[in-house]
Amino acid sequence: MNTSKNLVGKLESVLEKQITLLTDLYACQKRMYESVLVRDWEQLQKELAVSAGMAETFKHLDDSRLAVLRDIAPHIEVENGFYRVTALLGEADKTVINSRYREMKRLLLLSKSENDVFTTYITNAKTLLAGMLDTVISGRKSKIYTRNGALASTNVESVVLNRSF
């Protein structure tokens, strides 16, 4: 019985850590979105590094959660049977663990939605800029000019746009 309580405590601890991590990841995603809106590319790079670290940590926590579930119920396929495992627990433990799990899943869905919104924004901005460049470059018969009006070399690899676009 004591071992079962320890496993339930470990499971609750892992779920709490996942909830905290997902809350922090959601805040990081918001900061990434804001940094793109204000064109702060250095901040975006920092936030991308932070989010990559959080994703790695979440994967380790998820592996830990699955390991604890396997310890609780070795005969159940834990990858898709979370609620079947928690059905084996006492009523009080089951209620707490299931509520933590639902909160973790809610935050995971929220984070995924934020990521989808961010991806859509980036895709739309890319399409808009590509269309603008096609219009500008085709209007100049595929020639690009320098700031002084001289014809630029044809192998221009980088184009910097004014923020007024």
pLDDT at 137: 64
pLDDT of the residue at 118: 87
Token pair in block for residue 28:
């990081």
Return the pLDDT at 66. Answer: 93
What is the pLDDT at residue 154?
Answer: 57
Which residues neighbour 88 within 8 Å (Cβ) at sequence distance 6 or greater? 72, 73
Rounded Cα–Cα distance for residues 137 and 147 (Å):
15
pLDDT at 1: 46
**pLDDT, tens digit (0-9, with 9 covering 90-100), for 84-103:** 999 988 899 999 999 999 99
Instruction: Enumerate residues 6+ apart whose C-beta is below 8 A from 118.
Output: 29, 32, 33, 36
CB atoms within 10 A of CB 163: 6
The predicted-structure confidence for 37-88, as pLDDT tens digits, reads as follows 888 889 999 999 999 999 999 999 999 999 999 998 888 888 888 899 999 8
- Number of other residues whose CB lies within 10 A of the CB of residue 22: 22
Residues 6+ apart with CB under 8 A from 122: 36
Which DSSP helix (H) or strand (E) runs through 66? helix 41-72
What is the widest separation between alpha-carbon atoms in the chain? 83
Question: Is the four-CA dihedral 13, 15, 16, 18 of positive or negative sign?
Answer: positive
